[in-house]
Amino acid sequence: MQEVKRVSVREIIAERKSKKKLFGLFKLSRGKSVWENVIAVGLFACSVFTILVTLGIIITLFSETINFFSRPEVNLWDFLTGTNWRPLSSNPSPENFGVRPLIRGTLMIAFISGAVALPIGLGSAIYLSEYASEEVRKVLKPALEVLAGIPTVVYGYFAISFITPLLQRVLEDGLGIDVSFFNALSASVVVGVMIIPMVASISEDAMRAVPSSLREGAYALGATKFEVATKVVVPAALSGIIAAFILAISRAIGETMAVMIAAGATPRMTLNPLESVQTMTSFIVQVSFGDAPSGSINGQAIYAVGATLFVITFLMNIISDIVLRRFREVYE
Amino acid sequence: MSADQNSNNHDIVFTTKQLSVYYGRQLAIRDIDLSIQRHKITAIIGPSGCGKSTLLRSFNRMNELIPTARVEGQVYYNEKNIYAEGIDPVSIRRHIGMVFQKPNPFPKSIYDNVAFGARINKYQGDMDELVERSLRQAALWDEVKDKLKDSGLALSGGQQQRLCIARALATEPDVILMDEPASALDPIATLRIEELMEELKRNYTIIVVTHNMQQASRVSDMTAFLSIDRNDLEARIGILVEYGATQRMFIKPEMQETEDYITGRFG
Ligand SMILES: Nc1ncnc2c1ncn2[C@@H]1O[C@H](COP(=O)(O)OP(=O)(O)OP(=O)(O)O)[C@@H](O)[C@H]1O
Ligand SMILES: [Mg+2]
């Protein structure tokens, strides 16, 4: 679920904020007015609340995950390495609880949607920042942001009512390649379209923040507009562009609704995007909708999958932090 | 007579004819007629806002990067009108380097900064050699030769400005335009830039905008004095008041206005 992804981001932000406010609190309590102290304490309470909620979620997540793994029917090693995910099988056993098909489905969709969104998003950002006139930009940028506000369910139905039939017509009827009605490619394309605005908008902000004196310097050396954009502006804005990419990919990993609708719910260890796959988030939703009783093996499996997703997005956050710091060192 | 004419033409790099520049409907400079001599340093002086930068930027067609700017009249570069139809400003800028008021090195390594122009020009020769030569010409080599991979932004302001000069030199230009190249620098760094200009004069033609009268008199051979047209102060239109050899301009200007400005009695 998207909730799971947000937790990791929020937790980091909340932690940072709380540190600042703690110090602020101590500073303010020395000789400042009572009112100031009240404000500081109130803000402090807000941040404590955020942390407590976050901690609560994490504790629930992991304690249920521990419960799951302490069952005799499953074990951690087979969970992480197994290639069969059959949680509903009548014979619950470790070989039916391998999470890798779900991870693979998730990563396949993230990868293909990234391949769709990154070039198009970066291209739009370059156009908006470097080529578009002020009037065109004033219309296009808000339009792009409206695109980001469309509910994801709509994207899902767009996938099965437009993209999937199109793929079937072109690939199946035209080239004789089998295309399942539920398939990962269709889902990836709409998720890709869904995250284009994010890539474009954040990259464009980063590119517009590049001082125009750098552009002038490049023009004065005889650079063309395209050279200025690709050899000066994009490299100078690289840390922001990478941040946009990582945020967009995290969003693709966490995306649930559109993926469930378009890619179906067949956990499968495949690299063929024309088949149905299941992602981690769509498994969680599938089981939640099926009223799995708490304490049942499936009720607990969703926590184990959720925790896996949490760890993956958490690692991505850390990697992005490292990447950003690296590029900042080089470019600033 | 015709031989004389030829040698004359050979000594002239730029000639502007009735050059006017507008920003939107506002006329910024009007009817400038000016000839720039080869291998000389020409200083452009004048009060703030009179259009010095505007004039300088018309020599390499930088004004057209400003959407509202419009140029009228002609600028002949080696007897070719660079504003004629079909002339690509990119090809003009490859022969005419420019150094800006605020140092603006790219956020790249020192080496990549210098190599930038040569790379986009598809330079065929030895890049290492070109980078070293340009940095030497810009009197920066000894300070940076051991850290060519470091960011250009890690240098001091004066070093950054010399890096920008090296960057311009690496495209092997014919002319270098400088817009108050030392105004952001301390007196020592300024002196180094001035010495450098003296050096570069042998191989390049330099046009420099400056607010500093001493600097103009120290380094330049020719001086152009621009000012706001006194007949129409409201409109704030820049015109060329006087142009001549620097020595004469500073000792015995023809116009009262020039004398007032040079001696600090302007305004
Ligand atoms: N991008 C622009 N858009 C509109 N007007 C401009 C622009 N650049 C310059 N101007 C106007 O043109 C006139 C000349 O400006 P310019 O920058 O050429 O003067 P300058 O002599 O270089 O001044 P300074 O000594 O302060 O640098 C000024 O009145 C200025 O307001
Ligand atoms: Mg100026």
The answer to whether B48 touches B228, Cβ cutoff 8 Å, is: no
Ligand nearest to the CA of B23: 1
Structure tokens at A267: 């956990």
For residue B180, the ligand 1 atom closest to its alpha carbon is 27
> Is A175 an 8 Å CB contact of chain B?
no
Residue B243: which of B34, B31, B17 has the closest Cα? B34
Residue A274 DSSP SS3: coil
CA A4 to chain centre: 11
Instruction: Please tell me the distance from the alpha carbon of residue A100 to that of residue A79, in angstroms, as a whole number.
Output: 8
Largest CA distance in chain A: 79
Please state the domain extents for chain A.
Answer: 9-70, 99-326
> How confident is the prediction along chain B (267 residues), in pLDDT tens digits per residue?
344 444 456 789 999 999 999 999 999 999 999 999 999 999 999 999 999 999 999 999 999 999 899 999 999 999 899 999 999 999 999 999 999 999 999 999 999 999 999 999 888 999 999 999 999 988 899 999 999 999 999 999 889 999 999 999 999 999 999 999 988 788 888 888 899 899 899 899 999 999 888 899 999 999 999 999 888 888 889 999 999 999 999 999 999 989 988 888 654
pLDDT at A295: 66
Q: Whose CA is nearest to atom 11 of ligand 1?
A: B28
- Residue A76 token pair: 């951690």
What local confidence, expressed as pLDDT, does residue A91 receive? 77
Q: Take atom 25 of ligand 1 and give the residue whose Cα is closest.
A: B48
B3-88+96-103+175-262 belongs to CATH 3.40.50.800: no
Distance between CA atoms of residues B6 and B100, nearest Å: 33
What CATH superfamily is the domain A99-326? MetI-like (1.10.3720.10)
Say if A219 is an interface residue toward chain B (CB within 8 Å).
yes
Q: Give residue A193 CA to ligand 2 midpoint distance, Å.
A: 46
Q: What angle is formed at CA A271 by the lines to CA A9 and CA A241, rounded to 5 degrees?
A: 35
Given the CA of residue B56, which atom of ligand 1 is nearest to it? 18
Query: Domains of chain B: which residue ranges?
Result: 3-88+96-103+175-262
Are B120 and A214 an interchain contact pair (Cβ–Cβ within 8 Å)? no
The verdict on a CB contact (< 8 Å) between A227 and B171 is no
CA dihedral A312, A314, A317, A319 (to 10 degrees): -60
Q: Region A313-321: what's the mean pLDDT?
A: 84
Nearest ligand for residue B66 CA:
1
CA quadruple B91, B96, B97, B102: dihedral, nearest 10? -100
Q: pLDDT confidence of A31, banded at 50, 70, 90?
A: low
Q: Which residue has the tokens 């230009």?
A: B173
Is residue B222 within a helix (H) or strand (E), and if so which, with residue range?
strand B222-228
Which ipTM value was assigned to this complex? 0.91
Gap between the Cα atoms of B211 and B171, Å rounded: 27
**Ligand that comes closest to the CA of residue B55:** 1
Which residue puts its alpha carbon closest to atom 22 of ligand 1?
Answer: B53
Q: What is the value of pTM for the model shown?
A: 0.81
- What is the C-alpha to C-alpha distance for residues B144 and B130, in angstroms, rounded to an integer? 15
Quote the ligand 2 centre to B216 CA distance (angstroms).
Answer: 15
CA distance B265 to chain A (A): 34
**What does DSSP assign to residue B71?**
E
Q: DSSP character for B159?
A: H
Single-letter code of the amino acid located at B44: I
User: Using the beta-carbon criterion (under 8 Å), do B164 and A232 form an inter-chain contact?
Assistant: no
What's the distance, Cα to Cα, between the start and end of chain B in Å? 45
Q: Would the CB atoms of A220 and B168 count as touching at under 8 Å?
A: yes
Out of A213, A231, A330, name the one closest to residue B151 (CB).
A330
pLDDT score, position A32: 65
The minimal CB distance from A222 to the residues B67, B102, B117 is found for B117
